[in-house]
Amino acid sequence: MPRARRGFLQGLLACPVCAATALGARGAAAADGHGSWSYEGNTGPAEWGKVDPAARVCSVGDQQSPVDLAGGISANLPPLDLNWPVRVYDVTNNGHTVQCDATPGDYVKVGKSVYQLLQFHFHTPSEHAVAGKRAAMEVHFVHKAPDSSLAVLGVLMQPGASNAAFREIMAAAPAQPGKAKSAKPIDIRTLVPAAPRRAWRYEGSLTTPPCSELVSWFVLDRPITVAESDIAAFRRIYAMNARPLQPLNRRFLLRG
């Protein structure tokens, strides 16, 4: 086994959300603002590597995200301890997705390691698939480790019972690029399935330009449900904002 990949597997077992260099508060799957890229046509995913020289890895990288989550190596991984207080959120339409910025001090604890929540945002359909099947939506919680690396928690979303947090976010979401505040405090812990939580974990990339291969992903294996009407409200803003699946290549996919 190559040394780098052996080291990665050992590192994931000890610290499954450690990544490489950080990009500050930039989302792991959504840019901070408008850009020359999109999800279709001449600036769509197939062209991202040509849109900007800095995004060349979108075309040539071999550890890109999202991926199809099928199988996985069974691993005894530490549980996720979410420390996200109920609060009012700024809800931003940033030109690519609906995003909510976190407040300093919100964090997730994985074993003995603590990672600060930067922001979370949404995609339709889900960016990750499970055995080739995509969910209706996916939410990404973007975290920053003490060493400034990025770690992202992904949760699949399916139509069903209403979710109060997502309902409140969509009620506040601007139809055009801009920012608004949620009318009520939101408990975003309800956007994550209840414990016990199992997840697929792998080393990957940002899912938008510049597609930097700097992200440790963990995607929970159980979805949440949200109201069909709230999914429709998101799709009225963004009918589709998911990158195509990328090959796993020789990466390790852990599940535990």
Active site residue 96: yes
**For residue 17, pLDDT beyond 60:** no
- Where does the pLDDT of residue 37 fall: very low under 50, low under 70, confident under 90, or very high at 90 and above? very high
Average pLDDT in the 123-138 region?
98
Dist. CA 217–CA 220, nearest whole Å: 10
- The catalytic residue among 34, 96, 123, 140 is 96
Please tell me the least confidently modeled range out of 168-172, 173-177, 215-219, 251-255: 215-219
| Model-wide pTM > 0.85 | yes
> Residue 89 has which token pair?
């959120």
Instruction: Supply the pLDDT for residue 10.
Output: 39
3-255: in CATH 3.10.200.10: yes
Instruction: Supply the pLDDT for residue 146.
Output: 84
Structural domain boundaries of the chain? 3-255
Give residue-wise pLDDT tens across range 96-111.
999 999 999 999 987 7
- Where does the pLDDT of residue 145 fall: very low under 50, low under 70, confident under 90, or very high at 90 and above? confident
